């Protein structure tokens, strides 16, 4: 595989928002095919690392959909949105600053705990089943603008989940991968059994 040509193809494949927010890097030492650390709010550029030696074991549609899915997930992480978790985190951060200024160790500890609780809840909400399924569905919509049909894109992503596990030497899929696989079967019209709402919204 010509690595430079592949990176050029992947950049061209991405939506404009993906090209602005992400950076593709080669990381031959990583044990996973593709990896993207959970993005932090103070780091606007989000790195996606690829082990191209493992990457080349995927078929072209699988590579395309895996990249689009990863970009969709990382660009959809929401740190700034109005809800109770952000309110708790903001109150905790402001409270911590005030208590530090007042040199009140007990107040610092309580306010810091409040900030930590809010930030943990934000992290968990961005790791929910719903966010993961939305990333799959967003990737399929982008793929449709790149010439794939909805069913083709869903099948390619479904095959990718299973193939990546095999390449990485995993003997079974995680619960979340099984949920995603079933949702993709529905989109690809391979199964009529939809994911129940309580599982879709599970953290």
From the list 196, 63, 52, the residue with the least C-alpha distance to 139 is 63
C-alpha triplet 128, 189, 68: angle, nearest 5°: 50
Q: What residues have CB less than 8 Å from 77, skipping those under 6 apart?
A: 38, 39, 126, 131
On whether the CB atoms of residues 165 and 63 are closer than 8 A, the answer is no
Regarding whether 119 and 145 lie in a shared domain, the answer is no
Residue of 2, 37, 33 lying closest to 23 (CA atoms): 37
Q: How far apart are CA 65 and CA 160, in angstroms?
A: 8
155/112 same-domain check: no
User: pTM for the complete prediction?
Assistant: 0.79
Report pLDDT digits (tens) over 96-146: 555 455 555 555 455 455 445 445 555 555 567 888 999 999 999 999 999
Whether residues 146 and 65 share a domain: the answer is yes
Tally the domains of the chain: 2
Q: Which domain holds residue 189?
A: 3-77+127-200
Q: Is the same domain home to 120 and 55?
A: no
Residue 183's closest CA among 199, 169, 167? Answer: 199
Q: Which pLDDT score, from 0 to 100, does residue 100 have?
A: 53
What pLDDT, in 10s, does the model give residues 21-76?
999 999 999 999 999 988 777 777 899 999 999 999 999 999 999 999 999 999 88
């Amino acid at each position: 595989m010509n690595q430079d040509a592949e990176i050029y193809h992947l950049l061209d494949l991405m939506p404009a928002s993906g090209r602005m927010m992400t950076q593709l890097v080669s990381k031959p030492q990583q044990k996973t095919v593709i990896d993207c650390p959970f993005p932090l709010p103070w780091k606007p550029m989000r790195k996606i690392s690829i082990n191209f030696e493992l990457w080349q074991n995927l078929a072209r549609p699988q590579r395309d959909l895996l990249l689009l899915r990863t970009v969709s997930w990382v660009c959809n992480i929401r740190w700034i949105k109005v809800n109770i978790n952000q309110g708790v985190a903001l109150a905790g951060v402001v409270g911590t600053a005030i208590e530090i200024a007042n040199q009140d160790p007990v107040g610092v500890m309580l306010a810091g705990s409040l900030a930590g609780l809010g930030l943990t809840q934000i992290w968990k909400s961005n790791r929910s089943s719903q966010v993961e399924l939305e990333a799959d569905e967003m990737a399929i919509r982008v793929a449709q603008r790149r010439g794939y049909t909805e069913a083709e894109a869903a099948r390619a992503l479904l095959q990718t989940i299973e193939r990546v596990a095999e390449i990485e030497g995993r003997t079974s899929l995680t619960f979340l991968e099984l949920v995603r696989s079933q949702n993709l079967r529905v989109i690809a019209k391979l199964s009529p059994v939809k994911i129940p709402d309580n599982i879709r919204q599970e953290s």
